[in-house]
Amino acid sequence: MRHEWSSQLTFILAAVGSAVGLGNIWKFPYITGEYGGGVFILAYLFCICLIGLPIMLAEISLGRRGKQSPVNTMLQLSQEAGANPAWSLLGWSGMVAGCLILSYYSVIAGEVMAYSFRASSGMFNHQTADGIKGIYTSLVSDPEKLLAWHTIFMSLTVLSVAKGVRGGLEKTVTFLMPALLVLLIILVLYARTTGGFEQAIDFMFTPDTDKFFYARNDLGNYLMDANGDKIFTWEPMMVAMGHAFFTLSLGMGAIMMYGSYLNRHVSIGKMTLIIVSLDTLVALLAGLAIFPLVFANGLNPAAGPGLIFETLPLAFGNMTDGALIGTFFFVLLFFAALSSAISLIEPSVAWLIESKGLRRIKATVWVGTVVWFIGIGTIFSFSGTTLQDIFQPLFSWVGFEHIELSQTFSKYNFFTAIDFFTASIMLPIGGLLIAVFAGWVMHQDSTEREFSFRSRHVYPVWQFMVRYVSPFLVLMVFLNIIGIFKF
């Protein structure tokens, strides 16, 4: 018999384990910094409530009804609803997105592992902001070191998944998630003493629409068109929406997969609320721990993916028992990343087991190896290789050396391109299709039975959200991007 979570609590912990990860603590602060703070956070919270919540409910219930990997769940549910089997493409795009995301996730998680050793060796003690920045630069500009850490992290992910989702995950998450939360609170309390707290609150919670809606260059200066007007951009909105999907692990079948191990008698509504609230709480706490340090030390909030590695060590270097607390922090963050990595790879592994008859170990090693290879692209991005550097030799090779990448693309490297393509395009499209499937394609009595909400009023609200509100909002953002209409 197919196994199920041992209790409702374990499902919550596993889903929170998937949701809470590098997205909350590494990515959320740096994209908030890059896109100007206040309005970005508002846009993100808006997307969490109006898009994330209803789609998470939909994804869990599809998974629980299908009881298989996302590809086969979608095949079965489309058959049940008399719909086109092409809906299983949703599962396929989820598997691809999961592998692409994991490819760079593992490189960053490798950096986190490297930092737990650096913290424990006392390397951060009494360093200046420049000294801390130097430690980060020397790590990311050394491809061999990054490759070694990436390899270690991928091996640990493969090992954990090979043991079966319940084996390692349940125990890990039960203790480590609460510990991470406590440590973040300690860091926020420390951040209050640094003198940058008020500026941080101002940055995070005071809306500044210009910084959000108008394009700026790397130095933070506004770009101007020929008439000297600022240039309007939808990119931050797209990143905010994409991050809502990313942080909740939605749109690629990870949560669907976890829903498939869920017992019939559990109420999904309450659990979804708990998962979403905890995830949001962790992200906001991470912001409150990091931005005061940024302002107190005169750092740039838009420093990019290195932000946590260039700020938190400053705190650890200056607080009593900083080496111990710093080590704890990076070790816990590593476990949070591992529990998310497991959910990124599980849909592909489960599909190989179900449909190709592979043993779990073999399936995991296969997927892990593919992901490991793709991750090498991200390692080179950190040492400065851009998309232009990758494409130019290819163009020359086929005799088109005069072709250059357009300005929009030349600012990307392999890592930023994959991140943008997966989080801001693939996950929202996946989520949109999940909403349409749950709202329009599935028979109403099957979704109603899946939910069995205690209150009679919740189902119609959810249905209205997945039928109209969430798809409409996702579509609006996309249509604006491709310039079909503007408002």
**Chain residues that interact with ligand PFF, rule: CB under 6 A:** 18-19, 21-24, 98, 101, 246-247, 249, 252, 254, 340, 343-344
Nearer to ligand PFF, 21 or 471 (CB): 21
Q: Which helix (H) or strand (E) holds 387?
A: helix 387-397
- Residue closer to ligand PFF by CB (options 197, 309) is 309
Q: What are phi and psi of 366, to 5 degrees?
A: -60, -55
User: CA-to-CA distance for 437 and 81, rounded, in angstroms?
Assistant: 10
- CB of residue 377 to ligand PFF, shortest distance in Å: 18
- Residue 249 CB, shortest distance to ligand PFF, in Å, is 4
> In the block, which residue shows the tokens 């590593």?
334
In the complex, minimum distance from the CB of residue 358 to ligand PFF, in angstroms, rounded to a whole number:
21
Cβ atoms of residues 384 and 416 within 8 Å: no
In the bound state with ligand PFF, the residue whose beta carbon lies nearer, of 191 and 276, is 276
Among 182, 160, 112, 115, residue whose Cα is nearest residue 14 = 160
Residue number, nearest CB to ligand PFF? 23
Shortest distance, CB of residue 6 to ligand PFF, whole angstroms?
A: 22
- Cβ of residue 261: shortest distance to ligand PFF, in angstroms? 15
Instruction: Show the tokens assigned to 66.
Output: 């299908």
E strand segments, 135-250? none
Q: If you compute the radius of gyration of the chain from its CA atoms, what whole number of angstroms results?
A: 22
CB-nearer residue toward ligand PFF: 129 or 374: 374
Please state, as a whole number, how many other Cβ atoms lie within 10 Å of the Cβ of residue 153.
26
Is 132:349 a contact under the CB 8 Å cutoff? no
What is the rounded CA–CA span in Å between residue 236 and residue 31?
A: 9
Cβ closest to ligand PFF, residue 98 vs residue 471? 98
Q: How far is the CB of 24 from ligand PFF (least distance, A)?
A: 5
> What's the token pair of residue 119?
């913290």
Instruction: Find out whether 140 and 383 touch, Cβ atoms under 8 Å.
Output: yes
User: Cβ closer to ligand PFF: 74 or 123?
Assistant: 74
